[in-house]
Structure 1
Amino acid sequence: MLLLRRMLTRLHTPHIALLRAPLFTRKFFFIFSAAKHIAVNYLFPMAVSLGNVRPCVLTSFHHKPTPRVCRSNLRFSKNNRLRLLLTKFSPSSKRCCHFHPLKSSSINGFSVQNDSLEHFDGEVNVDFNEKIRRWIRFIQSILPGGSWWSFDDDVEVKIMAKPVTLWRALGKMWDLVSKDRWIIFAAFSALIIAALSEIFIPHFLTASIFTAQSSEIAVFHRNVRLLILLCVTSGICSGLRGCCFGIANMILVKRMRETLYSALLLQDISFFDSETVGDLTSRLGSDCQQVSRVIGNDLNLILRNVLQGTGALIYLIVLSWPLGLCTLMICSALAGLMLIYGLYQKKAAKLVQEITASANEVAQETFSLMRTVRVYGTEKQEVKRYKHWLGKLADINLRQSAAYGFWNLCFNMLYHSTQVIAVLIGGMFIMRGNITAEQLTKFILYSEWLIYSTWWVGDNLSSLMQSVGASEKVFQLMDLMPSDQFMSKGKKLQRLMGRIDFVDVSFRYSSREMVPVLQHVNISVNPGEVVAIAGLSGSGKSTLVNLLLRLYEPTNGQILIDGFPIKEVDIKWLRGRIGFVGQEPKLFRMDISSNISYGCTQDIKQQDIEWAAKQAYAHDFIMSLPSGYETLVDDDLLSGGQKQRIAIARAILRDPTILILDEATSALDAESEHNIKVATLSNGLLVKSLHFLSLYVLICYYI
């Protein structure tokens, strides 16, 4: 170290020109400068980005910090070879730093002008030993078991899914495909026949070679015929196995999505208040698709290689038990690494799916609010939000790739160790006369088969555990119990008169239980009355409607329908007799006729649809469209008033006993609103929720 300091000190003195220095000194100077450039521009930024090394300045050695200036330019030739061109020595400088400018920083003492670097090293004094310690910590962090491999500090998502064991996940998958178990049985039968056929191929292949060498023609022809039979049988059964497992895999993914979708639709509305649309669609899409490899690829190859590896191990022990035990020990070490690698990949897969769901949530939110994004010009901010999650995803994928590379490294080392041990010990046995050359050849072939079978089991087992880790949230959602509204069947009244009573009703949303929305509300509405509920925004008008529709359950109190508690009335039957138009009506991506008749259980004719549209004063604008009632619309292709008219027509078509309009005419002009009111007065009970800014309390009055 002292010699290196002296050489660097002499190198940086202005009294010795670089070109007049000895050849060894010049070579060392350029090699050291190039290594320093690579460390500063590539290795050191990577270490800083990983958070294991603090930003510092790599400077040469000096005795005391005196203000000196040093400038250098860096250029690259066409073949990317580094050229260090010394441009100027400051007369007062006793050294010069040769590395590319990083950033302009008053903390580090850097100032960038064009491609030149001015370094006021008097402001910075970094201890050489400290830099060495930082690099040692960085190298330790990237070694197996280091902090770089940990997922605990880098991820900003909270994993809510409960851990699912491998056997429990496989049991759930079996429940989904058990109705078509004949496909699974056919696949397993083909797998067993193909695996057994392939196990004997190395035996007869080696026997054919050595019988040909010994001129045993009859034995040679017999071995060749058996070899051809085994190859044909293996090919046919392998094709059948792949086809059956592929069909079973398709059935699994299809039924998993059906089960998950059904489970989600049967949840309470409060569930959708806490879950985002982007997250749920990601579970239906990418998470279920992640399971598509389980049966068709992972289980298929795992079972095949387990059978083949077991057969190869038995053959090796029968052939030569000492060599067989050596190979078994290597396979045991490989299996231990396989287990660690599989658990690591399972945890990584869970994080990948959570981060993917968060990225999909950002994209879905941006696309749904595209007009707002465009008006406020926040495209770059949304791209930055999306890139943030993609960066997290890339970081996890980088560690997965590094772990996969380390796994392959261990496999290749153990694989070649098996070959060396087999040749070494087998050669000694041949010289002693314990085994023949034919037996050693068979042993080498079967030992390679056993090692490769172990590797395939490990590789596909890690893929299987990734799929299980990615599907944990899917299984958790599938296990959710349906809402009580769908579990219990209430009574169906002979005739709904339409009397509504709110008796001491209080309510709080589960997402904000500390904030009361309604407190001790008492309202009575008689059949045939038209009631308007007015109040400021956020006073609870829409909440009253949601409670009447039983989208939420009251925290305290109860709601009576014709004197019966609403919980005892069949909810599907009750909703079929209520017409509802919300504040912001939503349309499905279908034609206008289908949107108006949406939810009607009885047979609806086109004349009925047109009658409802005329009652809602929507017929004229519908007929002005190119395709009339067959025009394809969605939530963004019509104006607010047009959507409200279609939603009102949808409610009128149901011929409801109770008609609820929650600010349903806010986007209509005064004349259209008056005409719709007149048309709807004949539809039984009309409950209206309106805003009156001059009122500061909840007012219920009869019109």
Structure 2
Amino acid sequence: MALLQLYTTQSPPHLLSRFERKHRSLVDNYAKLRLSRSRTRNYHQSRLYSSFSVNGYNSLEGECRDKNVEAADERVGIGRWEWIELVRSVLPGGDWWRFTDDVEVKFLAKPVTLWRALTRMWDLVSKDRWVIFTAFATLIVAAVSEISIPHYLTASIFTAQSAEVQVFHWNVRLLVLLCVTSGICSGLRGCCFGIANMILVKRMRETLYSTLLLQDISFFDTQTVGDLTSRLGSDCQQVSRVIGNDLNMILRNALQGTGALMYLLVLSWPLGLCTLMICSTLAAVMLIYGQYQKKAAKLTQEFTASANEVAQETFSLMRTVRVYGTEKRELERYKQWLGKLSDISLRQSVAYGLWNLSFNTLYHSTQVIAVLIGGLSILSGHITAEQLTKFILYSEWLIYSTWFVGDNLSSLMQSVGASEKVFQLMDLMPSGQFTTKGNKLQRLMGHVEFRDVSFYYPSRVTALVLKHITFSVHPSEVVAIVGLSGSGKSTLVNLLLRLYEPTNGQIFLDGFPLKELDIKWLRERIGYVGQEPKLFRMDISSNIKYGCTCDTRQEDVEWAAKQAHAHDFISLLPNGYKTLVDDDLLSGGQKQRIAIARAILRDHSILILDEATSALDAESEHNV
């Protein structure tokens, strides 16, 4: 139901931005004002229709003209107020830039700092630390080589102009060596960071997937499939950019920018300080922009997951959608989330434009300052033309390094924002069923007993499904549980399989409390066929053998299929037992017979059939 509320075509009031709420309130008040004034005007006009001409002027026309002028003035006043509010909201820091407050509070409940995110990523790739160390070593060599190139390039030009042949040849040789070294180290750096990126995303997905597999069933009752697959897919891929791209470029440009700044201060400290002030201003803008992009990334992450959930749900229920003709409705649901994504992207684009505006303004300011102050210094004899040329080259290098650091820092903050939900899921503790080792009975007889068992689902605390249930099933006994739909028959099965734990009471197996038995050992000895069996996208033989812990021959698989009366229709399939299972390939009854064959093959001590023949015809049900 929560998703349905989110899927409404009109945004709920709590999801509107502050400006949108203000604007809506302003429009509503304006509409009420117009309505009240129109009613007043209609009342006056109804009275004026009976008036006569006075002194050659129609009193109705005069009154209407006055009212129209007055209404026009009111519209102009309201229009000016709306434009003032609009301009104030779109300015930096205005309400238009703020994201939804309740969503921010929800996501920021457990924020992930940059240092914590990097620490978690290092834990994932630390086993292959040699790749990281090689990448950073080649990064340092490449950065030092590249930052030295402008110096020897300028020196080569001016030594050639002054006809210093030996110095010119020496500078050219060093220049070639630096270029070759930079090229080789840059290639190794890119290769190593790419390998580190692959390792990170692989282990992150492995860790997240293994963590999700060990959660309680109640966890999956509250999470959607589309949301979880989005975390495994796009979010992990976004986080993987941290090492392969963001840190790579940030560290490279930080080293080059530091080297350029030191060189500038050595050449001319007044010019160097001016450039440093400009870069500091650029860095301040960069930090604000990075934090804003981090918030935007978290919202983009959530809205993308919601859009994926709508698409996955629609495609999986395409037959229902087609039968009821709700294609347009599903499209509107999907477009709603796309609209939210486009709204976030619009703000990100405008923010990126302001960031570029700041950079270009400060960049050209550096050039102007360098030419003015440097030109005066040349005229006064404090520096040479060669030094000014080097200064301009290194000042541009410093500005561009600052810009690249800011741009990649923004991407880094987006990745950190996307990592919050991923790390939150990775930090979930596994279910106690998998962490505690219970008892294993030497011989299982199959005596099942429910004693005063009560239960409600964690997602529906107020709805008690079972209340003080007591019964027992003895070995070699067949017991049928009959009841109305929703009376709790399947819930009894879930409790016996320990998919859920009873709220009150206990379940015993051969006199031992069920919760004290080893969960893996228990489930290996209980066979289960549900009323809606699910088959995996693998061949039929693998589906029948699914869950078997011992080596199973093909003859055993065929024997179980014959016992479930599934062998005949399987043999008629194009590839027999090697036919890949598809939703359109098998009917509901055929799927149930394959599931029954799976239960027969495992030869369990306890067999549970939850309306296992509901999709079979009378003859097939009798045979099974």
Q: Give 2:442's match in structure 1, choosing from 463, 482, 494.
A: 494
Sequence identity percentage: 78
Q: CA distance change for structure 1 residues 329 and 124 in 2, over 3 Å: closer, same or farther?
A: closer
Deviation of the 1:672 alpha carbon: 2.0
Offset at residue 330 of structure 1 (A)? 0.9
Q: Does the CA-based 8 Å contact 1:588-1:635 persist in structure 2?
A: no
- CA drift of 1:162 comes to 2.6
Whichever residue aligns with residue 300 of structure 1, its letter is: N
Structure in which a larger fraction of residues adopt strand: 1
- Aligned pair partner of 2:412 in 460, 464, 488: 464
Aligned partner of 1:632 in structure 2 is 580
The alpha-carbon deviation at position 423 of structure 1 amounts to 1.4
**In structure 1, the residue corresponding to 2:469 is in which secondary structure?**
strand
1:136 is the counterpart of 2:84: yes
Which residue among 281, 287, 293 is the counterpart of 2:241?
293
Amino acid paired to 1:625? L
Partner of residue 328, structure 1? 276
Is the 8 Å Cα contact of residues 48 and 54 (structure 1) preserved in structure 2? no
- 1:434 is matched with which residue: 369, 372, 382? 382
The one-letter code sitting in structure 2 at the alignment partner of 1:409 is L
Match of 1:219 among 158, 167, 176: 167
What letter matches 2:120 in structure 1? K
Residue of structure 1 equivalent to 2:158: 210
CA 158–644 in structure 1, closer or farther in 2 if over 3 Å, else same: farther
Q: Is it true that 1:150 corresponds to 2:116 in the alignment?
A: no
SS at match of 2:459: helix
What amino acid is aligned across from residue 303 of structure 2 in structure 1? Answer: I
- Larger relative contact order (CA 8 Å, sep ≥ 6): 2
Taking the aligned partners of 1:93 and 1:194, their CA distance within structure 2 comes to 84
**Residue number in structure 1 paired with 2:65:** none
Contact kept, 8 Å, 1:50 with 1:148, in 2: the verdict is no
In structure 1, the residue matched to 2:602 is 654
Cα shift readout 1:611-666 (whole Å, capped 9, x = no counterpart): 11111111111112222211111344311111111100001100100000001111
CA distance in 2, matches of 1:531, 1:431: 106
Aligned to 1:26: none
Work out whether 1:563 is the aligned partner of 2:524: no
In 2, distance between residues paired with 1:262 and 1:291?
18
Instruction: Name the amino acid aligned to 2:179.
Output: C
More helix by share: 2
Of 220, 241, 252, the residue aligned with 1:304 is 252
* Residue 337 (str. 1) matches residue 285 (str. 2): yes
Distance change in 2, residues 1:561/1:615 (3 Å): same
Deviation at 1:127, TM superposition (A): 3.1
Task: Tell me if 1:455 matches 2:403.
Answer: yes
Of 265-274 and 483-492, the range deviating more from structure 2? 483-492
Q: Which residue of 1 aligns with 2:547?
A: 599
| 1:476 equivalent in structure 2 | 424
Distance 1:670 1:548 in 2: 29
Correspondent of 1:173 among 109, 121, 126: 121
Confirm or deny: 8 A CA contact 1:504 1:557 kept in the other structure. Answer: yes
Which string of whole-angstrom CA distances, capped at 9 and with x for unpartnered residues, describes residues 247-286 of structure 1?
1101111111111111111100000000001111111111
Q: 1:121 to 1:490 in 2, by over 3 A?
A: farther
Alpha carbons of structure 1 residues 292 and 224: separation in structure 2 relative to 1, 3 Å: same
Partner of 2:182: 234
Alignment of 1:547-696 (within 5 A): 547-676=495-624
Q: Alignment partner of 2:480: what SS?
A: strand
CA contact (8 A) 1:578 1:659 kept: yes
Secondary structure at the aligned position of 1:560 is classed as strand
Which of 426, 451, 457 in structure 2 is aligned with 1:503?
451
Q: Residue 362 of structure 1 aligns with which residue?
A: 310
CA distance in 2, matches of 1:576, 1:398: 54
Alignment of 1:83-94 (within 5 A): none
How many residues are paired up?
576
Counterparts of 1:581 and 1:157, CA distance in 2: 44
1:583–1:664 contact (8 Å) kept in structure 2: yes
Of residues 331, 335, 345, the one that matches 1:387 is: 335
Q: How does 1:187-198 map to 2 (within 5 A)?
A: 187-198=135-146
Q: Which amino acid aligns with 1:458?
A: G
- Number of the residue aligned with 1:314: 262
| CA shift for structure 1 position 491 | 1.6
Does residue 535 (structure 1) correspond to residue 487 (structure 2)? The answer is no
CA RMSD in angstroms, aligned pairs only:
2.4
Alignment of 1:244 onto 2:187: no
Which whole-Å CA distance do the structure 1 matches of 2:175 and 2:555 have between them? 75
1:370, distance to aligned residue in structure 2 (A): 0.8
CA distance in 2 between counterparts of 1:181 and 1:51 reads 54
Whichever residue aligns with residue 598 of structure 2, its letter is R
Q: The residue matched to 1:239 in structure 2 has which SS?
A: helix
CA distance in structure 1 between the aligned counterparts of 2:380 and 2:265, rounded to whole angstroms: 19
The one-character-per-residue Cα deviations of 1:113-133 (angstroms, maximum 9, x if unpaired) are xxxxxxx99987743232112
Letter of the 2:174 partner, please give it.
L
Deviates more, 1:158-167 or 1:249-258: 158-167
Q: Does 1:375 align with 2:375?
A: no
TM-score normalised to structure 2 length: 0.88
Distance 1:320 1:415, change over 3 A: same
In structure 2, the partner of 1:84 is none
CA contact (8 A) 1:283 1:474 kept: yes
| TM-score (norm. length: structure 1) | 0.79
Counterpart in the other structure of 1:33: none
* Superposed displacement of residue 159, structure 1: 3.8
- Which runs of 5 or more residues in structure 2 are unaligned? 1-18, 32-40, 45-59, 63-67
For 1:656 and 1:399, the matched residues in 2 are separated by 60
